[in-house]
Chains A and B, each alone.
Chain A
Amino acid sequence: MLEFLKNPILTFQEFIVLAGRTIRGVFRKPYYWDDVFTQMDLIGIGSLPVVLLTGFFSGAVMALQMSRALQTYGASSQVGQIVAITLVREMGPVLTALMVAGRNASGMASELGSMKVTEQIDAMRALGTDPVMKLVKPRVLATSVVLPLLTVLADFVGIVGGWLVACVLLSLTTSAQYWSNSWRALEYNDITQGLLKPFVFAIVLSLVGCYYGMRTTGGTQGVGRSTTQAVVVASVWVVVLTFIIGRIFVSM
């Protein structure tokens, strides 16, 4: 039993050490801004299409599924409210984070993993740069700026998707009612939760990607293994964290 737990605990410990070094590093020089902007471009612009598509269709699907239930209660006009709240609080942050985990946590793990097995990480240390500052910090900074922005966009196109289904396709309610309902439904609390979540997810998923990349061993095969592990672990963290953060907000 103890043997069985030893590996995950050691891994978690190493992860926390990397997280600690990175977070301390955020407040220290040097800053490699070029790398930060490259990563922002890669994550932000690169993930935009897939994030928008996911957002749009999750809003549309939600409106579709809710329509029947709402009609039963004669509450069709409430569809905007439901779509907006669910998207902003939960679906937007989680789905966007899962997409970015699949695209970018894996990308980070495979990029850093290949650098590790070709001794580029060793070369960095040998030639005067700290890989945590040069590789990990820019990725964490870039992700934590870009993921909340992507989430806001996903939320918005999701509400548009809901509107198309509710008002244009099914004529459940009027456009004016849909928009004013969804706008009024959102409280300060929802917005905070909807922005805090992607920020936390961003830090965790970029750190997970970098961590699995940096600890790659065993050549090209090892890179494949790290990539898979990074996506799986990052995705699991996203769903676990959304529950934990949600729990904190519900009890507040």
Chain B
Amino acid sequence: MPDSSSPVVLAFDRVSLSFGGETVLREVSFAMRRGESMIVLGAAGSGKTVLLKTALGLLTATSGRIELFGEDVTGLDEQAWYERRSHVGVLFQEGGLFDSLTIEENVAYPMLNQPRLACPEEEVIRRVQESLNFVELGHTLEKFPSELSGGMRRRVGIARAIVTQPDLLLYDSPTAGLDPITANTIIALIIKGRDMRHATTFMVTHRYQDGQLLAGFHHDEATGQLLPVNGQRETGRTHYLVLREGAVVFDGSATELEASRDPYVRRFVRREEGA
């Protein structure tokens, strides 16, 4: 179980970011330790995607300090970022699957393009197949992304994120635009991916429910089922971060979130309770 002695995987220290004159992140600070999960909630346009991209060096912070895998990565140049990014798996909100490549080529892409992960072709094929089997899409290798449904594309995205066996996984709104059943399947995959490799998981979402599932369930390797976590919810495995107009307005555990009196924070908790 992670505790305060586990190494810090990702930490932001008063990070701000603006585009032209518009400030999109305001002094954002948080820290994630190994094995922890973080759930980021916030209204549309509150800066969730920008936060995730800043953590990967795809956007450059205007000020503040970012630490990744215990190393200061503030102001790192693009070339140096490539190596760091090879330790991180990411699912983008818009999918980011390459239209011109087949599902197999899409999932193989990080394996083939990151020098650190160079390995023989058979090994790549094996890993890709394994990863696609994991998301139950082992039969779609030759298809193109446009031939799959939205939920299936999301699953391919997950397969591509985990194929490199990263230490940190970033998911941007993995359930957005999906029906509740498909959404739950996606979250189940994310839980499975987290628990099988004890990966640190950072998930942006609109659905409070996604967070509840991520925090309240674990993947049981013996049965392959999702089981409720009993009494472990308070151990600090799962953190919540609530963003409002680019600023962190809440950072704490599920219990603290539910007890919060802040009307903006309550909106996320209450809205989903009714749903």
Contacts and interface: CB of A to CB of B under 8 A. Distances in A.
Interface of A: 114-115, 117-120, 122-123, 125-130
Interface in B57-73: 58
Interface residues of B, number: 24
Given A126-B90, A127-B109, A128-B82, A120 B96 contact: yes
Interface stretch (B110-118, B225-233, B246-254): B110-118
B200 to A, nearest CB: 16
B113 A118 contact: no
Contacts of B92: 119, 122-123, 126
Contact of B110 (A117, A118, A120, A128): A128
A126 B113 contact: no
B110 A119 contact: no
Interface string B202-232: 0000000000000000000000000000000
B93 A119 contact: yes
Given A119-B92, A123-B90, A126-B96, 13 more contacts: A119-B93, A119-B95, A120-B96, A122-B58, A122-B92, A125-B81, A125-B85, A127-B110, A128-B82, A128-B110, A128-B113, A130-B78, A130-B82
Interface in B86-108: 86, 88, 90, 92-99
Contact of A127 (B78, B94, B113): B113
Contacts of B110: 127-128
B69 to A, nearest CB: 16
Given A126-B58, A126-B85, A120 B99 contact: yes
Per DSSP, chain A at the interface is: helix
Contacts, number: 52
A-B pairs, 8 with minimum CB distance: A123-B96, A128-B114, A128-B113, A119-B96, A119-B92, A127-B110, A119-B94, A118-B94
B127 to A, nearest CB: 14
A128 B115 contact: yes
A114 B145 CA distance: 14
Contact of B88 (A122, A123, A126, A129): A126
A11 to B, nearest CB: 13
A114 B95 CA distance: 12
Contacts of B85: 125-128
B98 A120 contact: yes
Nearest to A118: B94
A122 B96 contact: yes
A219 to B, nearest CB: 9
A126 B95 contact: no
Contacts of B97: 120, 123
A123 B98 contact: yes
Nearest to B164: A127
A115 B96 CA distance: 8
B86 A128 contact: yes
Nearest to A217: B19
Contacts of B99: 114-115, 118, 120
A114 B82 CA distance: 23
Contacts of A118: 94-96, 99
B86 to A, nearest CB: 6
A125 B82 CA distance: 7
Nearest to A10: B20
B161 to A, nearest CB: 9
Contacts of A126: 56, 58, 85, 88, 90, 92, 96
Contacts of B113: 127-129
